[in-house]
Structure 1
Amino acid sequence: MFSCWTDAHVYRPLFDTDDNLYEIQKEQGSQQAHQTFNKLLQRGVSTNILIIDQAATHGVHGKGQGFGNPISIQTVALIKAAKALQKVCRFDAEGTDWPISHFDDTTSQYRASFGVSWPGKTADTEEKGYYLDASRNVALDDMCASVAKALYKRGIFDSPEVSMADGKDMETIAQTLGSPTWHVSSDFGGK
């Protein structure tokens, strides 16, 4: 929920040591052209704020019991889209980097955040309880280029080139992934 899609501060690095993350997120408001997409994004931002507010009100803090997917959903979706299009597309005119974290790194960060393996430090809570977990950034252009080269090398594509997605490409990708056309840009682009 800290992205260009929700009008976050993407013009500078954002760290979880920033004391103003709660205030930054409270000020966010999605201004996307598609009304349903806009509502979906705003719901995510509002949910983050609601969880923090309710946790503070009720004194609830702790570790979740969920599970994670060790494979990047963007990589899988990009390959499915490429196979459907018979080419790899990029979605932003300018290069885009996304912060990423391996599943093991994320779970280690959760343990550390909740004091399990962080001696002498207690976890921040409420408005100071944001933990932006990213061990590195991935350049989406590099990921697209790697997928295109790999599919070309295996004889699946005739060319290792990456092209800019157009409206028809977006429709094909949406059908392939079972998502609305207006959602495709945020699956593969944005900062």
Structure 2
Amino acid sequence: MSYNILITGASGYLGVYGNLYALVRTEAQADSVKQYGAKPLTFDTRIAAEVNFIKTLGEVGSRSGRAVHFLHTTGAKVFSSHAGAPTDRPLLDNDPELYNIQKSQRSSHTRIQEAVNANNIVIKEAEKHGVRSYIFSPCIVYGEGEGFGNKISIQTVAIVKAAKALQRVYKVDQGEPSWPVCHIVDNTTLYLQLLRKILAGEDVPHGKNGYYLASSGSIVWEELYTAMAAALAKRNVVGDATVVPALGDEDSQILERIRAALGCPKEFVPVQLGGKCTFTAVHGKEIGWEPEFPPEHILEAADAEVELILKNL
């Protein structure tokens, strides 16, 4: 059976399908997706009237008599301390109460709360219109991107940007908080495995039970800082490989300089560079996904990651 696939981001897909469409906002983006065999569609998801595509997908399903699916990409931050998620225990992505947990979360950061709300709205609206929804969550992703979009990630890039501006690596958390990690290859293979299952007509968990974290496990932030500090010191980007705390009011000026380097509000610096997340991947393995790289590989790859980031900043 042939399917049409709509990609709502800069991504490529290899598989059996009728047509591959990609939403774009500019002519340059349209030219890029054409190189990957996709048909560009001009669409701006920031316009509220156009975000009714979930309802439209439901109408497609009603007319065709076939199941219609929507994969929403979120992020591990919305399952973390920054988002008011529980961090006193592993938060499994196949927890049957995860939807209710998300609904009860409250974040002091407006942007994070909006992202939490988006997850809930997608699930609610999809269920309302008979669409099968899936919440796909990347975490700290590392490794070189192979598509036409970003070649580098987010959190590791923030560490390098801040260190480069201040010529020192700072940590913004007390204790030893951890965060899930995933190599870009493993992140992609989970997404593809989920697509394969959908295209094969299998009834994979969806809706309120359709959360999928792409992660092979977690690492402690300070271990990541230390590994990246060594790589930065090796390249004379920082004075030495020491990781220095920047935690309280006495470090306000340091946090202000980090804010300027990252281009974010001062209160958002800890969101960019730390936090605690106990979100744990289970669903992926239940649908046949096996990560290739263990969590500690990010520490082994820190030197290459720093080199990649510096070349692309």
For 1:161 and 1:52, the matched residues in 2 are separated by 44
Counterpart position of 2:94: 17
Contact 1:8–1:28 (CA under 8 A) maintained in structure 2: yes
Distance (Å, rounded) in 1 between the aligned partners of 2:164 and 2:131: 46
Whether 2:111 is the aligned partner of 1:50: answer: no
- String of CA shifts for 1:123-142, please: whole Å, max 9, x gaps: 11211111122112232101
Instruction: Give the residue type in structure 1 aligned to 2:268.
Output: H
Q: Is the 8 A contact 1:5 1:190 kept in 2?
A: yes
Which shows bigger deviation, 161-170 or 103-112? 103-112
CA distance in 2, matches of 1:176, 1:155: 18
Once the two structures are superposed, residues 14-71 of structure 1 have per-residue CA deviations (whole angstroms, 9 ceiling, x without a partner) of: 11221111111111111x3xxxx2x22221111110000001011123689xx87453
The residue aligned with 2:275 is 190
- Residue 167 of structure 1 aligns to a residue in which SS? helix
2:153 maps to which residue? 72
- After superposing the two structures, state which structure 1 stretch, 102-111 or 170-179, moved more: 102-111
Alignment partner of 1:176 out of 258, 261, 283: 261
Are the equivalent residues in 2 in contact too, given 1:68–1:103 (CA < 8 A)?
Answer: no
Q: Does 1:5 align with 2:82?
A: yes
Stretches of 4+ aligned residues off by more than 6 angstroms: 117-120
Alignment of 1:61 onto 2:122? no
Structure-2 residue corresponding to 1:151: 232
Distance (whole Å) between structure 2 residues aligned to residue 161 and residue 172 of structure 1 = 18
Identity percentage over the alignment?
Answer: 39
Give the 3-state SS of the residue equivalent to 1:101 in structure 2: strand
Equivalent in 194, 207, 210 of residue 129 of structure 1: 210
How much has 1:116 moved relative to structure 2? 2.9
One-letter amino acid of the counterpart of residue 73, structure 1:
I
Contact 1:111 1:117 in 2 (8 A): no
Task: Give 1:120 shift.
Answer: 9.0
Stretch moving more, 118-127 or 100-109:
118-127
Letter in 2 for 1:85: L
Matched, 1:105 2:190: no
Partner secondary structure for residue 244 of structure 2: strand
Pick 1 or 2: higher relative contact order, CA cutoff 8 A, min separation 6: 1
Question: How many angstroms apart in 1 are the aligned matches of 2:209 and 2:258?
Answer: 39
Are the counterparts in 1 of residues 168 and 243 from structure 2 also a CA contact under 8 Å?
yes
Shift in alpha-carbon separation, 1:172–1:112, aligned structure 2, 3 A? same
- Answer with 1 or 2: which has the greater Rg: 2
SS in structure 2 at match of 1:131: strand
Are the aligned partners of 2:134 and 2:212 in contact in 1 as well (CA < 8 Å)? Answer: no
Report the AA paired with residue 175 of structure 1.
A
> Alpha carbons of 1:21 and 1:92: their partners in 2 closer, same or farther (altered >3 Å)?
same
Output the TM-score relative to the length of structure 2. 0.54
- Determine which structure has the larger strand proportion and give its number: 2
Task: Give ranges in structure 2 of 5+ residues lacking alignment.
Answer: 1-77, 136-147, 277-313
Which of 235, 252, 266 is the aligned partner of 1:167?
252
| Number of residue-to-residue matches in the alignment | 184
The range that moved more, 40-49 or 119-128, is 119-128
**Which amino acid in 2 is paired with 1:186?**
V
User: CA–CA distance in 1 between the matches of 2:151 and 2:159?
Assistant: 16
